Amino acid sequence: MSKKEITLSQVVTWFLTIIAVVISAFSGIYQWNQSKRYSDNTNKILINSAKLAEYDLDLMIYKIDNGGDETLDYGQFRFQLDSLQQNFETIEAINPTSLSKNQAMNYQVYRQNLNAVIYKATSYVNALRVNQTETPKDTDKLHVDLGARQNFYQGVGSSLNVIKSDLKVLENNKSLYDQDYKKNSKILEEQK
């Protein structure tokens, strides 16, 4: 009878060990799937962010194209600037430590690019204000002569090109670092 108890005890021990291994395997698979899903969702968020930024910049250029000194005021551009800032805040909420190495790098590069685009767009809109000594108000009139338009097109247009380029890379699941920084790093290294 003692042999039967030992055998039953061994069977129970092996059975519990197998169950523990199966549970551990399922937990690992679940964690991997969650990580992959988070990474995929992050890429979609970055793509959507780039599309929204592209729209806001395009709309700003459209307003400059179709407005004059009498019709354009700061409030018409503040909405796009606020939209870009809210877009950035959404990106900031992403936890890069939960991303793969490549996805984390894309996140960091895109976040840096979007931040630069917002800074640049804000600067170019502020440069259009007639009275730049006071805090901007929605009713501030904008001065959009030919020179100011050209300056705005150049600045916001280059920002738009950055966003379009980032969007293309993100949609193709490529590396933003390779596109934006790797080439420049090589050039800087060669110049040393």
Residue 183 confidence (pLDDT): 72
Between the alpha carbon of residue 77 and those of residues 1, 66, 72, 145, the distances in Å are 88, 13, 9, 17
User: What is the band of 1 on the pLDDT scale with cuts at 50, 70, 90?
Assistant: very low
Question: Can you give the pLDDT at residue 149?
Answer: 87
Q: What is the pTM of this model?
A: 0.79
Cβ atoms 104, 175 nearer than 8 A: no
Mean pLDDT of 110-114: 95
Q: Does position 95 have pLDDT exceeding 50, yes or no?
A: yes
Half-sphere exposure of 170 (CA within 13 A, CB side): 29
Range 44-191: architecture per CATH: Up-down Bundle (1.20)
pLDDT at 179: 82
Domain spans in the chain, listed from the N-terminal domain onward: 44-191
Section 141-159 average pLDDT: 89
CB of 61 closer than 8 Å to CB of 160 = yes
Residue 69 pLDDT class (50, 70, 90 cuts): low
Reply yes or no on whether the pLDDT at 140 is more than 80: yes
What length is written for the chain?
192
- Exposed / middle / buried, residue 121 (Cβ in 10 Å: 0-12, 13-18, 19+): buried
Average pLDDT, the chain: 85
Q: pLDDT of 29-65, one tens digit each? A: 767 766 666 667 788 999 999 999 999 999 999 999 8
